[in-house]
Chains A and B, each alone.
Chain A
């Protein structure tokens, strides 16, 4: 599919997303957060996105950029390339982050970072804000999402600027 700036791509498997009413998704997320790790906050999926900021507060693009470029924290550039002239080594496993803010709405970006497997179960993109459904997580990371709610919002705020 050709990607045109300004035009939003539809989710690959919209049926699976639409079949799940937002209320149920909210309940499921609440349950997940209650049983698995205090850092996971509840959220509501609408269509193929999460319209509301995680934890309610808007993120900071500068902090988000730092997270994305950090190999230990965001891990993003292990797989993605992006507009980072100061970084020498970036991965080729995933799409270039340049233009991500034009390709996706804020809500779509948020769900793709929080739990991309909701849209494509076979994705290699890790769920950045989920602690259930994982196997053999190392003790240091157990019951902790890759990014907390504030971290997710910072990354969303940064990716939005990539147009």
Chain B
């Protein structure tokens, strides 16, 4: 009897240890984990991944002189395999000159205008998406590592507030779906946890590559809210919050999503 009780106690202890260990595990899941095996295979294979087209276009643009400076991105940042390695993992970052947070695409636009002396391409243009995809791809496999500048804290907090703000005629916040109901199905589609680790993504629904801002606009339209304009501070704050939330997760660019 005593021996049996002892065994039961040992079993309980063992179970408790396992439970604690499970709890300590990282339970965050990339949108990749919510996809069908076919779409996952498409992302994994660079020859099949349609997002690689933007990355390859970006590589070409990277080496091409632009603007009145006659310089290419590579002239300053280098063109080798190590150029821009891991840089995208820390964006959005604090831009000390402007005194505000800037996202990766915004930084590229800034370089185009101020350093290369070229008319900056519009947000969501093929050129900007390609260059962004090229740089973000150079961080593939690396952990999300947000900018440690303390001036990013209020930006992240603004993003967090927006994440929890109910919007639109349907009166829903991002958190109500992507925190509270991730994994549930909205009609046929599983709701992912909204980690921005694969952007710019190739979205099958779009039949093209698009930015996180475009993706967020999709949700805003879905809840019948008025989307923010491309490049708006709100998107940059949301992205800063989401990157903080995804800290340590692996960059997957170019992600493929349904």
Contact = CB atoms under 8 A, between A and B. Distances in A.
Interface stretch (B143-151, B218-226, B236-244, B245-253): B218-226
A21 B76 CA distance: 71
Interface string B149-186: 00000000000000001111111100011001100111
B167 A135 contact: yes
Contacts of B171: 117, 126-127, 133-134
B181 A124 contact: yes
Interface in A74-129: 75, 77-79, 88-93, 117, 124, 126-127
B169 A126 contact: yes
Contacts of B169: 126, 134, 137-138, 141, 144, 146
Contacts of B27: none
A137 B226 contact: yes
Contacts of B177: 93, 124
- SS of A interface (majority): loop
A77 B186 CA distance: 8
Contacts of B220: 136
Contacts of A89: 185, 187-188
A98 B176 CA distance: 24
Given A124-B176, A138-B225, A91 B187 contact: yes
Contacts of A117: 171
Given A93-B181, A136-B225, A138-B221, A79 B168 contact: no
Nearest to A117: B171
Given A136-B226, A137-B226, A126 B172 contact: yes
Contacts of B181: 93, 124
A20 interface: no
Nearest to B166: A135
A117 B186 CA distance: 20
Nearest to A134: B171
A93 B168 CA distance: 19
Contacts of B166: 134-135
Contacts of B167: 135-136
Interface in A28-47: none
A139 interface: yes
A139 B187 contact: no
Nearest to B165: A135
A139 B226 contact: yes
A37 to B, nearest CB: 11
Contacts of A135: 165-168, 225
Given A126-B169, A126-B172, A88 B188 contact: yes
A141 B226 CA distance: 10
A88 B187 CA distance: 9
A134 B168 contact: yes
A78 B221 contact: no
Nearest to B169: A141
A71 interface: yes
Contact of B224 (A78, A124, A138): A138
B187 A137 contact: no
A92 B184 contact: yes
A149 B168 CA distance: 20
Which of B170, B181, B226 has the most CB atoms of chain A within a 10 A radius of its CB?
B170
Nearest to A127: B171
Which of B165, B169, B177, B191 has the most CB atoms of chain A within a 10 A radius of its CB?
B169
A27 B172 CA distance: 27
A138 B170 CA distance: 11
Given A79-B186, A89-B188, A136-B220, 13 more contacts: A77-B187, A89-B185, A93-B185, A117-B171, A124-B177, A124-B180, A134-B168, A135-B166, A135-B167, A136-B167, A136-B168, A137-B225, A139-B226
Interface of B: 165-172, 176-177, 180-181, 184-188, 191, 220-221, 224-227
Task: Give the 5 A-B residue pairs with the shortest CB-CB distance, closest first.
Answer: A89-B188, A141-B169, A126-B170, A92-B185, A136-B225
